[in-house]
Amino acid sequence: MDDKSRYEQGMTVRRKVLGDAHVNRTVENLTPLNGEFQEFITRYAWGETWTRPGLDHHTRSMITIAMLIALNREAELKMHLRASFNNGVTRDELKELIMHSALYCGLPAANATMHLAQQVFDEMDAKQG
């Protein structure tokens, strides 16, 4: 597959996982500084890795969230918590993932994620109500 095809495939998956609104904001905010980086993310992360057949998007979302908890990457974590619902992850699954992360990532990381997840849930509920 060439880079153009990989980019197009990546953009399709990126939109499916993160949603059109998020991806559109990213595209609207392209600059000379971040343009090549965003193309790289789309091509490599979304077009190369998220499209691999070995794991479904649900599993990839759960793994990604667990790694972001461990790495304490709040902005990316919040984005992937929201996006996980596009892949069929449930609130109960996220709760269990966060509980499990307390053992392996530490209580402060899990506690911070519980608060962050509640914030995401509240924002989502407010949009629905």
Contact between 8 and 20 under an 8 Å Cβ cutoff? The reply is: no
Domain boundary among 33, 52, 71: 52
Question: Are the beta carbons of 17 and 9 closer than 8 angstroms?
Answer: no
CATH code of the domain in which 62 resides:
1.20.1290.10
Reported confidence tier of residue 112, pLDDT bands at 50, 70, 90: very high
Burial class (CB in 10 A: 0-12, 13-18, 19+), 105: buried
> Per-residue pLDDT averaged across 33-62, rounded?
97
Residue ending a domain, among 52, 79, 95, is 52
Q: Is residue 74 scored above 90 in pLDDT?
A: yes
pLDDT tens-place string over residues 1-20: 899 999 999 999 999 999 99
Residue 66 lies in domain: 56-129
Question: What pLDDT score was predicted for residue 129?
Answer: 79
Average pLDDT over residues 70-99: 97
CA distance 86 to 16: 7
Question: Per-residue pLDDT for 97 more than 90?
Answer: yes
Say yes or no: 7 and 43 in one domain: yes
Residues 62 and 117 in one domain: yes
